[in-house]
Chains A and B, each alone.
Chain A
Amino acid sequence: MSRTDDERRRPARSAAHELERYEALFAARTERMRSSVMRDLMAVTERPEVISLAGGLPDTTQFDPAVFGAAMQTITADGTTAQALQYGPTEGLQAVKDCIVEIMAEEDTVVAADELIVTSGGQQAIDLVCKTLIDPGDVVIAEAPTYPGAVPTFCAYEAELVQIEMDGDGMQIDLLEQTLDALAADGRRPKFIYTIPTFQNPAGVTMSLPRRRRLVEVARERELLVLEDNPYGLLRFEGDALPTLRSLEVPRGSRDGGDFVIYTGTMSKILSAGIRLGWVVAPRPVLAKLNLGKVSSDLCSSSLTQYFVAAYFAGGDWREYIDRVRDVYRTRRDAMLDALAEYLPAEARWTHPRGGLFVWVTLPDFIDTTDLLARALRENVAFVPGEGAFDDGRGHNSMRLNFSSSSEDRIREGVRRIGKIVAEQLDLYSSLTHQNRAAAAVEPAAQAAMAKVVPMPDRQARSRSESRRA
């Protein structure tokens, strides 16, 4: 372990005084920027002996190092090294924007290169949209459950998150409209509706075509912005592709850009998460503000990785790579669904994704999946507890399982271990309530279980370890 001399010379500081000093300096919004016990538990999942079904990772081992080398070689060979090592335009390299137009066309979605900006991952697009639209206390609407990585972003901008139940066809638009009416009666108007319509993270479900149409109509009728997050659309294993919200708003042949749909995509799942490149398409006035927001965030996304992307797409084989990972993920999805059917007790319910990376499992509501994770880690298996996908204490009896980043054998073994401990907990619960297992089981309505708002004193108790130890 090496330490710089600077660090060695750092004077002893007074812990209590330090705390007080910083406490007074922190912005009010940092009060909602908390690390959670769950996050600490997740750190333990990184141990090599743990079968982690927790991450949202694409399998980058599928990427041929020779292809990577060749693309980087192109940068050296065609004399663009100096530009690749330089700052670039805030909105992104033209060549990359052209690639993005091509990628979106794969989903029959028309966009002009000047309607989008390149971002540092899809995550930055979410951040920039919040930065541009959210004042403290503003309402953001999202699905229940929603992408766990978006929740801290909404919190950091002090948004009030209102989450709309999903079923097998995605967000329930009638519930959305009721919620909008209730908010309107209260004099409130959400700033935007955040949705992952296709192979949703974490639930794995896809919004049906009628609901997509209706959502776009609702946005238009009520003049509300929709943030359509589409990282997984090209990872479809079966069935026909559904139109993106953006393409419903701006059909092929239309000469105008969109009015209400902001669209974000990413290279993370179709090429590489490590290059940190995504993009955002927005109505022009919004795009101009997003661009200003990006200047203040990072001036521009990595030129080096943008040159890599341009060279890689020029090679022309990008569709084959997507086909390859899609085949790999399909096999793994099948392995996971088979294992779930074999090893999970009858009381468990799970979604059947037709693409993407995730399965969402719901257990009887007396099981808390954060505690279950602690038990699972003793068996060296990990998942994402559901509570991170909500901002209101729901989701405590659900979990997200990832199938893209583990081999079929490990998926099977991981699910077997989870099934074993879930069965143990169900038996224990039955013995505590003098019920037999069948009677103790919660009604087989996973959606109802998902919907139930449970008071969660337990969550708060858990935070205690942080205050005591953090």
Chain B
Amino acid sequence: MTRVAVLKGGRSLERQVSLASGARVEDALERLGHHVVGIDVATDLLTRLRDDAPEVAFIALHGPGGEDGTVQELLEVLGIPYTGSGVAACARCADKVLAKHALRDAGLPTPDWVAFTETSFRELGAGGLLEAIEQRLEFPLVVKPASQGSALGIKFAQTPSDVPAALVAAFSYDHKVLLERYVHGRDLAVGVLSSEDGGANALPIVEAVPRGERYDFAARYDIGRTVFECPARLEPEATDRAMEVALAAYELLGCNGFARVDMMLAEGGEPQILEINTIPGLTETSLLPQAADAAGIDFDELVGRTLELAIVDPASAHAPRPGSVHAPIRRAAHAPPGPTT
């Protein structure tokens, strides 16, 4: 029996989802026989951690503060082992711009983009570059805040006149935003789990499929009008390539425990990585638990494994992992060999 603090809630805009994730994780940890303390993260976090003296912290926070390395750093100073990715990996993944640079430098596919800070528009007149950028990225293009963990603040601009308002909206969430080429295609999420031997395995792919035949933005992103299919119905080669790319991104960014890699797959094209979520949703309807389940790993097992892989020694967690960008694809235990129809 281990004394586990589940960190949840917090001040981020994803507080509600985090509370739900945290509650599910607490249930699972209790079923696994651990002593569980739930902590709604607030200004008294340090006091709570000192009083409760957990042997390990399970981080179920989403968004800035919990997913960007902030809480992780604090736990390291306190010497408390924690689940999920380390400080550096969290910081890299939480900032979409940093993550995309790393991906591009490593030759991994990610849609073309340009990033700006608010200062560049306010003080450097970057607005004058918009036309050239729009020509390069083409319409429709996507405007999003660099750091927001969820889809908050993501806008589609269909024409040049949509761009300024989309930028204003994105700057509501972060001082840094990016304009990104829109990839028309299938919306895939690849869950990745670390394994005890230091490697990582890809879970069956989840696809967000809009209901109804007519393609439009609305269906794609409107909950209730989207069905999640797992495993996604993809050609074996496409499945392999998506998993390969996801694993490579996971390794490249130094993730640990689990992560969810979101990507778009255009017809006949490469899967394009949009972002890596180091603490994906952990509720009943979240994609990572669904994917794990499809691989025969039930929720309790998922939580148990994640706990076992908690970072005890930050120094080693930051070291490059064995296996490289070109490592062979490893599928999670029990994963079906290919897509089922």
Contact = CB atoms under 8 A, between A and B. Distances in A.
A34 B221 CA distance: 13
Contacts of B300: 12
Nearest to A14: B293
Interface string A370-407: 01101101000000000000000000000000000000
A425 B255 CA distance: 36
B120 to A, nearest CB: 10
Interface stretch (A145-153, A226-234, A296-304, A456-464): A456-464
B142 to A, nearest CB: 8
Contacts of A185: none
A469 B281 contact: yes
B166 to A, nearest CB: 7
Given A464-B221, A468-B287, A43 B168 contact: no
B13 A457 contact: no
A436 interface: no
B172 A375 contact: yes
A434 B169 contact: no
Interface stretch (B25-33, B83-91, B106-114, B325-333): B25-33
B257 to A, nearest CB: 17
B224 interface: yes
B217 A457 contact: yes
Given A8-B30, A468-B151, A468-B189, A461 B13 contact: no
Contact of A433 (B20, B127, B284, B289): B127
A185 to B, nearest CB: 26
A465 B14 contact: yes
B184 interface: no
Given A431-B121, A461-B156, A34 B223 contact: yes
A372 B293 CA distance: 38
Nearest to B37: A1
Contacts of A11: 31
B174 to A, nearest CB: 10
Contacts of B21: 469
B299 interface: yes
A83 to B, nearest CB: 40
Given A8-B31, A366-B164, A434-B128, A15 B290 contact: yes
Contacts of A15: 284-286, 289-290, 292-293, 299
A336 to B, nearest CB: 23
Contacts of B225: 31
B270 interface: no
A27 interface: no
Contact of A461 (B155, B280, B283, B292): B155
A25 interface: no
Point out which of B172, B280, B291 has the most chain A C-beta atoms below 10 A from its C-beta: B172
Contacts of B214: none
B60 to A, nearest CB: 11
Nearest to B19: A43
A368 B166 CA distance: 9
Contacts of A18: 284
Given A10-B27, A47-B11, A429-B165, A470 B223 contact: yes
B13 A16 contact: no
Nearest to A427: B122
Interface in B13-60: 13-17, 20-21, 26-28, 30-31, 37-38
Contact of A460 (B62, B121, B218, B289): B218
A346 interface: no
A12 B151 contact: no
Contacts of B301: 12
B222 A460 contact: yes
16 contacts: A12-B28, A12-B300, A14-B299, A16-B230, A32-B224, A34-B222, A366-B164, A428-B122, A431-B122, A432-B130, A455-B158, A457-B156, A458-B166, A463-B222, A463-B223, A469-B150
Interface of B: 11, 13-17, 20-21, 26-28, 30-31, 37-38, 62, 118, 121-122, 125, 127-128, 130, 140, 150-156, 158, 163-173, 189, 208, 217-226, 228, 230, 262, 277, 280-281, 283-287, 289-294, 298-301
Given A12-B28, A40-B17, A425-B172, 14 more contacts: A10-B27, A16-B294, A17-B293, A44-B13, A371-B170, A377-B13, A428-B167, A429-B168, A432-B130, A433-B164, A458-B166, A459-B218, A462-B153, A463-B221
Interface of A: 1, 3, 7-8, 10-19, 31-32, 34, 37, 40-41, 43-44, 47, 366-368, 371-372, 374-375, 377, 425, 427-429, 431-434, 455, 457-470
7 closest A-B pairs by beta carbon, nearest first, are A465-B150, A464-B151, A469-B281, A366-B165, A432-B164, A375-B172, A460-B221
